[in-house]
Amino acid sequence: MCISDRNYIGLGAYTTAYLTTQYDVSPWLALPAGLILTAVVLSLIHI
């Protein structure tokens, strides 16, 4: 399965935007959450 890097960037950006708008989380705290979620999804896909 080949998924482009844009999809991973989009997942991190969507996570950051969702946490910021829906849960009123600071963007500085939402950015690492987006990175962590992207890393977890990436590691699950490439097992």
> Do 11 and 34 form a contact (C-beta atoms < 8 A)?
yes
> For the whole model, what pTM was predicted?
0.81
Which amino acid, 23? Y
pLDDT range class, residue 21, cuts 50, 70, 90: very high
The confidence score (pLDDT) of residue 40 equals 95
Angle at the Cα of 15 from the Cα atoms of 24 and 2, rounded to 5 degrees: 175
**Over the stretch 28-47, which tens digit does the pLDDT of each residue have?**
999 999 999 999 998 998 87
> Do 19 and 36 form a contact (C-beta atoms < 8 A)?
no
pLDDT range class, residue 10, cuts 50, 70, 90: very high
Domain ranges of the chain: 5-45
**DSSP 3-state helix, strand, coil percentages of the chain (rounded to 5)?**
80, 0, 20
The answer, yes or no, to whether residue 13 has pLDDT greater than 60, is yes
The confidence score (pLDDT) of residue 46 equals 81
